[in-house]
Structure 1
Amino acid sequence: MNKNNQYATMVEALKELDKRGYTHNFRVNEYGQLEENRTRHYPPSEVELHEFHRFEGATNPSDMSIVYAVQTKSGTKGTVVDSYGAGGSAVTSKFMNSIDQKQFE
């Protein structure tokens, strides 16, 4: 079963992911680590990608974003939101491409 790209809006995706336990808000910092509140840091070896969802802006198709659903080795589940395409973060993209890919299992 493909879990990716199953929501019409980012708000819907974030609400549904939250209901499924992805409650933490992460970002990828400039050092290439997953970070929560600038206090907890996880290197790529401690993170799994479970699914992702891409969205186009309603008024501007070039306004694209992506939501990643991730889990740390300690069991913490959360999301990372980023721009997608030319405006996306190279650091976030590199991080997501280097972690365990579980979204097709």
Structure 2
Amino acid sequence: MNNQYSTLSEAIEALKKEGYTTNFRVNDNGLLEANSEKTFGASEVKLAEFHRFEGMTDPGDSTILYALETSSGLKGTLADSYGADASELISEFMKKVERKNQIN
């Protein structure tokens, strides 16, 4: 289910309770990084769900939160701006990630 939370912090807390406890980032090499020792290519990651949020005072302040699962079983979240302020690295990575339960 997507876009079911009112705030970003509410989504993060709820997802943590579901086991999405790792804070992911996309490194300069275009790999998902759990820490400096663990990295994953897009083919090793599935998108479980995502949620979009707009700032209360500025609709241009938009964030997207991805709930991701890796082939090793690691679950976590990745946050990014969306729209004009989106990270090119994250956008390119997420274009390659398969959606969980997607039928090919």
TM-score (norm 2): 0.93
Partner of 1:34: 32
Gaps spanning 5+ residues in structure 1: where?
Answer: none
Secondary structure in structure 2 of the residue aligned to 1:5: coil
Shift of 1:38: 2.1
Check if 1:18 corresponds to 2:16: yes
Number of residue pairs the alignment of both structures matches? 103
TM-score (norm 1): 0.92
Counterpart-to-counterpart distance in 1, 2:102 and 2:70: 17
Shift of 1:99: 1.1
Partner of 2:57: 59
* Root mean square deviation, CA, Å: 1.4
- 1:33/1:81 CA distance change after superposition, 3 Å: same
Secondary structure in structure 2 of the residue aligned to 1:32: coil
Counterpart-to-counterpart distance in 2, 1:54 and 1:21: 20
Structure 1 consecutive aligned stretches of length 4 or more whose deviation exceeds 3 Å: none
AA aligned to 1:51 is: E
Over residues 53-105 of structure 1, what are the superposed CA-to-partner deviations in whole Å (9 max), with x where a residue is unaligned? 00001111000011000000010000001111100101101111101112778
Secondary structure in structure 2 of the residue aligned to 1:87: coil
Counterpart-to-counterpart distance in 1, 2:97 and 2:84: 21
- 1:19/1:104 CA distance change after superposition, 3 Å: farther
Shift of 1:29: 1.0
8 Å CA contact 1:22–1:77 kept in 2: the answer is yes
Name whichever of 46-55 and 32-41 sits farther off. 32-41
Identical aligned pairs, as a percentage? 52
